[in-house]
A and B are shown apart, each in its own frame.
Chain A
Amino acid sequence: MIGPGTLIAGLLTIAILTFLYRDNPVYKFAESLLIGVSIGYTLVVVWSGTLVDSLFMPLFSDGRYGLLVPLLLGLMMFARLIPRASVLSRLPIAVLIGSGAGVAIPTMLEERTLKQMSATVAPLVGASGWPDFSAIVIVVGVLTTLSYFYFSRAHAGLLGVSARMGTYFLMIFFGATFGYTVMSRMSTLIGRMEFLLTDFLGLTG
Chain B
Amino acid sequence: MTELERELVALGDELEYPVAREVWPQVSPRLQRRRLWPALVAVAVVALGIAFAVPPARSAILKFFHIGSVSVEQVQTLPPAQTRPFSTGLGPKLARPTVKLPAGLTATAYYARPGLMAAVLRYRGARVLYAELRGDQMGFAKKFVGPTTHIEEVRLGEFGIWLSGAPHVLAWDRGQVQTRLAGNVLLWLDHDVTYRLEGDLSERQMLALARQITR
- Is A bound to B? no
A residues sitting closer than 8 Å to B (CB atoms) are none
